[in-house]
A and B are shown apart, each in its own frame.
Chain A
Amino acid sequence: MPVVKVLTEGIGEVNLRDIGEYRKRGGYEQWQRVATTMSPADVIDLVSKSGLRGRGGAGFPTGRKWQFLPNNGRPRYMVCNCDEAEPGTFKDHLLLEETPHQVIEGMLIGSYAIGSNHAFIYIRGEFKRGFDIFSAAIEEARAAGMLGDNVFGGEFSIELTPHRGAGAYICGEETALLNSLEGKRGEPRLKPPFPAIKGLYGEPTVVNNVETLAFLPHIVKNGPEWFAKVGPEKSPGYKIVSVSGHVKKAGNYEVPLGTTLRELLEIAGGARDGRTIVAIQPGGGSSACLFEEDLDLSYDFDTMAAHKTMLGSGAVVFFDDTTDFVKAAHALVRFFAHESCGQCTPCREGGHWLELTLERLLHGGGLDSDIDLLVSVSHQMTGLNLCPLGDSIEPFLASVVKRFEPQFRRYVKHAEPATV
């Protein structure tokens, strides 16, 4: 079994929330090394060479993202995205609560690399416990001299501010997050301009995921090759995968990228007894389904993309042969419709309308033509929205309608068909 312990090292064994415990295991040594012996360019170079790609969903190369910041003499901001709300994803939550100092160390290294003197972490509103733990950790780190003015007696000063969201899924989208952080309504901004050019308070900003940043101390410590040599060349490194659905042992598993879906299923205890996995949603609620014939695919960014789906935030949901995909589609569409910020027409109106249509179908009021309409409208909506939320409906819906069309057709004639 390819389970590893990099970010998850020590979790469940010792109290890593305690800065003393964290430092006993080498914590903050890399931050000190970076701040006292390396230049920002060195750090960017290191991270670029490691091949680290964003662990929040888009998988964009982290080093490259950092290099987009203009040299315009303006303040820059590092923002850590801990709004983790993608259905099926629960890995950042773990890091936040169990190993907050590792996240702080990553944020400090990242801030240093991009030249930000003020970093923010945007924590999902529901993570009250995590917020409290993290806030306490910041104070411990400050007391230990890890952040503040002229850290380690050098010229670099860094402030770190935690901010709790208020329960909107859309605030995980980076520009909506920035609006929310500024105290505005959590609505995505039009891109371009991208946050690298005009982000928080209109200044150059990097938004990185918790897991992405948490890898930084390890990459600094072990060198870029240590990371780059793991897994596929273009999609290297380790990943915490949140596995859930019809498996025996749902949970977070840290694995090298390139592990197969079947291995992930086995790590999670396999399918329930007597059941067969018929579909896999490999990258959170916004990803299209794969099916049982795809179980041997390598789980990495590029393989998933090549199969018209995505690795996303690393949330893998397994569906077995008891699944009512009409109900599953309805649940997911309802989620996206509910979480639409309402700003742009297709997402606000289209999402809601798709939800109503599925509801009608579930209650026996559907028409045969509704099924084609579901596919055509969700397709028409895609690529049309102001942010990716509205585009998130089609992949799952279209993939399961195509694969399990008879289930949908059955509902046209029967309010509650016996599907199980």
Chain B
Amino acid sequence: MSVSSTNGKAPNVTFTLNGATVVARGDETILQAADRHGVEIPRLCYKDGYRPDGNCRVCMVEIEGERVLAPSCCRLPAEGMKVASTSARAKSSQTLVAELLLGDMPGQGASPYKRDSELDRWAAWLGVTAPRFPQRSQPAPDMSHPAMSVNLDACIQCGRCVRACREEQVNDVIGFAGRGDHSKIVFDLDDPMGASTCVACGECVQACPTGALMPANNVGLVEPDKKVDSACPYCGVGCLLTYNVKDNKILYVEGRNGPSNHSRLCVKGRFGFDYVHNPQRLTKPLIRRDGVPKSVALIDPDDVDKYFREATWDEALDLAAGKLRAIRDDDGPQALAGFGSAKGSNEEAYLVQKLVRTGFKTNNVDHCTRLCHASSVAALLEDVGSGAVSNQVSDVAFADVAIVIGSNPTINHPVAATFMKNAAKAGTKIILMDPRRSDLARHATYFLQFNGDTDVALLNGLMHVIVAEGLANEAFIRERTENYAALKEMVADYSPEKVAPITGIPADIIREVARLYATANAAIIFWGMGISQHVHGTDNARCLISLALLTGQIGRPGTGLHPLRGQNNVQGASDMGLIPMMYADYKRVDSEDARHKFEALWDMPLDSKPGLTVTEIMTAAHDGVIRGLYIMGENPAMSDPNVHHAREAMVKLEHVVVQEIFFTETASYADVILPATAFPEKTGTFTNTDRRVQLGRQAIDPPGDARQDWWIVQEIARRIGLDWNYSGPADVFEEIRKATPSMAGITWERLEREGSCTYPLEHEGDPGEPTIFIEAFPRKGGRGLFMPAKYTHADEMPDAEYPFIFTTGRQLEHWHTGSMTRRASVLDALEPDPVISVHPDDLTRLGLAPGDPLTLESRRGKITGYARADRGMQRGTFFMPFVYNEAAANLLTNDAVDPFGKIPEFKFCAVRASVGDWVGAAI
């Protein structure tokens, strides 16, 4: 095959290009070799990183001895070949192509949609001005999509968008229809783009050379003042991107070739940036007006003036810090708590936990990791000694088998999902296990739609087969694990025949899947919150770890354990010690060695008692034990389970400081609100799901009087008696290197240069370790621990009164509690209303049609949303994203927690359903 690859194993080839001797490296194409030698050859359908297709024919070269010309983008040079890109025949051919294509453009001139159209550039380079041909009639524009415009009059049928959609992102929406000069790209079955199954990743827009596919609103015609290389503020995949900025506004976003995204983005990363320019941004410090009491009802952000007044920074900071200090001094440190954020940088997370530990003098500090992967981390620390992923997402390409369980990556980690889909196309067998059928099922070899809540039974069943059929990796177990006998005894009880009726998966399928995983050369496990957000979340994760240990599928490329992290910096925030029981680098606060180390680093005595978690803090607030709370960038009034309870708790708090970019639901309960900076307004490091520490760079200035988060934290610290004097994020990062040995080798300069470093990276100049556990596990003795788990039920099972199962999660277009994405115009236009997914049979049973209001009620609350038919749902189950404050899913969820990870059971509670009357407006 003439497609180039980069393995570089092929020998170098010497050939002649336009009379000069040229050496092509390995399997470079003629075009690539020419590029490297500075010989320009025009190209249109070729895009670096994509499979060359050779259809545009503008890169044609003449090869001595060959009758016809050859596309240099696809053709590999042969030893001694004589190639001419500038011969009369080659030039005449290249020119004809440019002339024919230019003749097709509107007005036969420059693209009216893009400043830097590649066709315009190469036509000018070839000297083509006025085509000799009459212009053809052109199709009408398609403006049906809020994010992108389709101008097929500028389409040159190069097929880059088709490859973008089908081969890069594997969404399979764009295709070619028609033949000859009727040939055109279509979305699905020639639907308008906005009505198609397009997921708006925008890869096609990024791929289009002429502007036929462009971000809406003609931004392609505006020349940016600057381009700033940064990262994506949304999920844990950690895509790198470039902000195009003009007049302190972000014009548009382009994917950048980062190690975790290969220039790909999803709809949020590419089109979800204008929340930063939303008029609801907080621009002045606010103080609650005297005599305006707190109540459980949410405050409309447009009514803020009735409850709060503007203040100067000094007044607001003095009040915020003064009262925290007073509570600490009156009631003792245990009356205070702080929440940091997994949306903040490592530097911010580090400062927040340091403020709480050294300023508040308590370990009552936590963040939303408690709500997402706390149980996974608990199990990983317990069994393999490290809470981070063992292998990176891109390792799926080296895996023969990939288990994806309790995860909907095409929605929650869209760019990571593209690599899984790429791997599936290249032969990796995907085993998808989930109570809800997601898009990835289309690419899976096995899809096990098991009954919700039965993870442990299913996984023990798999291990039973592996043990019973002698497929366990005895050598690995002997040399690298402990407590195998206990596991063996436990799983003996879980024969496939016994597990089948519990899980709903036939015994034979359980056997086939167990064999497939156990006998693969390399098999990797990805999981998400379907595993972690249960009262048996830690047990679920323990089973996955045992599965890997049992088969030795860990410690090599293409194997291992990868809990897909949710937030862009949830890995980093935990690494920084933004959790109540550990300092940075997962050193326990109740370990004397660790405490002494941090006492020395911070030069003061520290509390040895582990602090309270997110949910425990809310209960303590409810009980009046905690009186003051500092919240930086978290939104517990939306994200906590049984959120009415959390809101009541916050009403009871004497002093709440909220540091935010918007007036969130949580801000309704604040005493002082400090306007902070959004992601593109600050510089800092963020650690993605792959353990990659990546640099986010400031692209725009914050609005009004909003200030840098690190500065705000420092000002509070100073006002409660700490002598802080950081000059900025780089300065904080230097201290992080001292506190976190696994990151000690990463320097700020290297991050500025490379943009991304993988830890562990202990010494400057190290390459970083993409795969860990190669020789040992970082536990005492170096062995992995089998922790057998017994199948148990959810805290609240359906019954006659509440017969349905309710489960929550995210949706592609929105982020968590919606504070950013519901204020991002494109994302809000794509998904404006609260939707409840339900199997169509249940809809019929309830007497509802898709789009009808549907009311759900649990023992804790009641909400009404619009019913959405979804055949991927199991009958008897409802799914809802927790993003909509007019129908907050967490009003229904159960606040029972896993005993180890202290994670609430967001994935399972009992509800009853009825025909709804009306759906409220967003607050």
Binding site for B on A (CB under 8 A): 168, 185, 190, 192-193, 198, 337-346, 348-353, 356-357, 360, 373, 377, 380-381, 383-386, 391
Q: Is the CB of B179 within 8 A of A340?
A: yes
Give the interface segment out of B92-100, B422-430, B717-725.
B92-100
With A345-B58, A348-B157 as known contacts, state yes or no: A384 contacts B69, CB within 8 Å: yes
What's the Cα separation between A344 and B58 when bound, in Å? 10
Q: Is the CB of B178 within 8 A of A342?
A: yes
With A340-B180, A356-B134, A385-B57 as known contacts, state yes or no: A345 contacts B101, CB within 8 Å: yes
Q: Is the CB of A383 within 8 A of B100?
A: no
Q: Is the CB of B57 within 8 A of A344?
A: yes
Distance in Å: Cβ of A302 to nearest Cβ of chain B? 16
With A337-B180, A348-B181, A384-B60 as known contacts, state yes or no: A190 contacts B157, CB within 8 Å: no
Q: Is the CB of B179 within 8 A of A168?
A: yes
What's the Cα separation between A391 and B57 when bound, in Å? 13
Q: Is the CB of A383 within 8 A of B68?
A: yes
**Which of A344, A345, A352, A353 is the most central at the interface, judged by chain B CB atoms within 10 Å of its CB?**
A345
Would you call B289 an interface residue if the criterion is a C-beta within 8 Å of the partner chain's C-beta atoms? no
What's the Cα separation between A185 and B157 when bound, in Å? 15
Q: Which residues of B have CB within 8 Å of A198? A: 1
Q: Is the CB of A346 within 8 A of B132?
A: no
Known: A349-B101, A356-B133. 14 other contacts (CB 8 A): A339-B179, A342-B183, A343-B157, A343-B159, A348-B157, A348-B181, A348-B183, A351-B180, A353-B133, A380-B92, A383-B68, A383-B89, A384-B93, A385-B68
Q: Which residues of A have CB within 8 Å of B768? A: none
29 A-B pairs within 8 Å (CB atoms) are namely A168-B179, A190-B54, A192-B2, A193-B2, A338-B179, A339-B179, A340-B181, A342-B157, A342-B179, A343-B159, A344-B54, A344-B55, A345-B56, A345-B58, A345-B100, A345-B156, A346-B57, A348-B181, A353-B103, A353-B134, A356-B134, A360-B134, A381-B96, A383-B68, A383-B93, A384-B68, A384-B93, A384-B97, A386-B54
Q: Is the CB of A338 within 8 A of B55?
A: no
Q: Which residues of A have CB within 8 Å of B104? A: 349
Nearest chain A residue, comparing its CB with the CB of B73: A190
Distance in Å: Cβ of A413 to nearest Cβ of chain B? 20
Nearest chain B residue, comparing its CB with the CB of A343: B55
With A342-B181, A348-B181 as known contacts, state yes or no: A353 contacts B57, CB within 8 Å: no
What's the Cα separation between A185 and B104 when bound, in Å? 24
Q: Is the CB of B57 within 8 A of A386?
A: yes
**Which of A168, A348, A350 is the most central at the interface, judged by chain B CB atoms within 10 Å of its CB?**
A348
Distance in Å: Cβ of B679 to nearest Cβ of chain A? 42
With A346-B100, A384-B93 as known contacts, state yes or no: A339 contacts B58, CB within 8 Å: no
Distance in Å: Cβ of B128 to nearest Cβ of chain A? 12
Counting from the closest, the 8 A-B pairs by CB-CB distance are A342-B183, A352-B181, A349-B100, A340-B180, A383-B68, A380-B96, A384-B93, A344-B55
CB proximity to A under 8 Å, residues B92-134: 92-93, 95-97, 100-101, 103-104, 132-134
What's the Cα separation between A383 and B157 when bound, in Å? 20
Q: Which residues of B have CB within 8 Å of A193? A: 1-2
Contact partner of B176 among A185, A192, A340, CB < 8 A?
A185
Q: Which residues of B have CB within 8 Å of A345? A: 55-58, 97, 100-101, 156-157
A-facing mask of B129-151, CB < 8 A → 1, else 0?
Answer: 00011101000000000000000
Contact partner of B179 among A341, A357, A386, CB < 8 A?
A341
What's the Cα separation between A341 and B181 when bound, in Å? 8
Q: Is the CB of B1 within 8 A of A384?
A: no
Nearest chain A residue, comparing its CB with the CB of B94: A384
A-facing mask of B233-254, CB < 8 A → 1, else 0?
Answer: 0000000000000000000000
Q: Is the CB of B181 within 8 A of A346?
A: no
With A384-B68, A384-B96 as known contacts, state yes or no: A344 contacts B1, CB within 8 Å: no
Distance in Å: Cβ of B163 to nearest Cβ of chain A? 13
Q: Is the CB of A346 within 8 A of B2?
A: no
Q: Which residues of B have CB within 8 Å of A339? A: 179-180
Q: Which residues of B have CB within 8 Å of A338? A: 179-180
Contact partner of A190 among B74, B101, B178, B183, CB < 8 A?
B74
Would you call B780 an interface residue if the criterion is a C-beta within 8 Å of the partner chain's C-beta atoms? no
What's the Cα separation between A383 and B92 when bound, in Å? 11
Nearest chain B residue, comparing its CB with the CB of A389: B180
Would you call B9 an interface residue if the criterion is a C-beta within 8 Å of the partner chain's C-beta atoms? no
Q: Is the CB of A350 within 8 A of B93?
A: no
With A353-B133, A383-B69 as known contacts, state yes or no: A344 contacts B176, CB within 8 Å: no
What's the Cα separation between A380 and B99 when bound, in Å? 11
Chain B interfacial residues counted at CB < 8 A: 38
Instruction: Give the interface SS of chain B, mostly helix, strand, loop or mixed.
Output: loop
Q: Is the CB of B181 within 8 A of A380?
A: no
Would you call B71 an interface residue if the criterion is a C-beta within 8 Å of the partner chain's C-beta atoms? yes
**Which of A337, A338, A349 is the most central at the interface, judged by chain B CB atoms within 10 Å of its CB?**
A349
Distance in Å: Cβ of A335 to nearest Cβ of chain B? 11
**Which of A168, A353, A373 is the most central at the interface, judged by chain B CB atoms within 10 Å of its CB?**
A353
What's the Cα separation between A198 and B179 when bound, in Å? 25
What's the Cα separation between A234 and B74 when bound, in Å? 34
What's the Cα separation between A198 and B2 when bound, in Å? 11
Q: Which residues of B have CB within 8 Å of A190? A: 2, 53-54, 71, 74
Nearest chain B residue, comparing its CB with the CB of A351: B180
Q: Is the CB of B1 within 8 A of A341?
A: no
Distance in Å: Cβ of A376 to nearest Cβ of chain B? 9
Would you call B67 an interface residue if the criterion is a C-beta within 8 Å of the partner chain's C-beta atoms? yes
Q: Which residues of B have CB within 8 Å of A349? A: 100-101, 103-104, 181
Q: Is the CB of A377 within 8 A of B71?
A: no
Would you call B182 an interface residue if the criterion is a C-beta within 8 Å of the partner chain's C-beta atoms? yes
Contact partner of B180 among A341, A380, A385, A386, CB < 8 A?
A341
Nearest chain B residue, comparing its CB with the CB of A185: B176
What's the Cα separation between A380 and B157 when bound, in Å? 20
Q: Which residues of B have CB within 8 Å of A385? A: 57, 68
Nearest chain B residue, comparing its CB with the CB of A384: B93
Q: Is the CB of B60 within 8 A of A341?
A: no
What's the Cα separation between A235 and B93 when bound, in Å? 34
A-facing mask of B50-86, CB < 8 A → 1, else 0?
Answer: 0001111110100000011101001000000000000
Q: Which residues of A have CB within 8 Å of B67? A: 383
CB proximity to A under 8 Å, residues B716-771: none
**Which of A190, A338, A373, A386 is the most central at the interface, judged by chain B CB atoms within 10 Å of its CB?**
A190
Q: Which residues of A have CB within 8 Å of B57? A: 344-346, 384-386
Nearest chain B residue, comparing its CB with the CB of A340: B180
What's the Cα separation between A305 and B180 when bound, in Å? 29
What's the Cα separation between A198 and B1 when bound, in Å? 8
With A193-B2, A345-B56, A385-B57 as known contacts, state yes or no: A377 contacts B176, CB within 8 Å: no
What's the Cα separation between A260 and B183 when bound, in Å? 42
What's the Cα separation between A414 and B749 when bound, in Å? 76
What's the Cα separation between A55 and B714 when bound, in Å? 85
Distance in Å: Cβ of A389 to nearest Cβ of chain B? 10
Q: Which residues of B have CB within 8 Å of A380? A: 92-93, 95-96
Q: Which residues of A have CB within 8 Å of B181? A: 337, 340, 342, 348-349, 351-352
Nearest chain B residue, comparing its CB with the CB of A198: B1
Q: Is the CB of B60 within 8 A of A386?
A: no
Distance in Å: Cβ of B175 to nearest Cβ of chain A? 8
Q: Which residues of B have CB within 8 Å of A353? A: 100, 103, 133-134
Distance in Å: Cβ of B179 to nearest Cβ of chain A? 5
Q: Which residues of B have CB within 8 Å of A340? A: 179-181
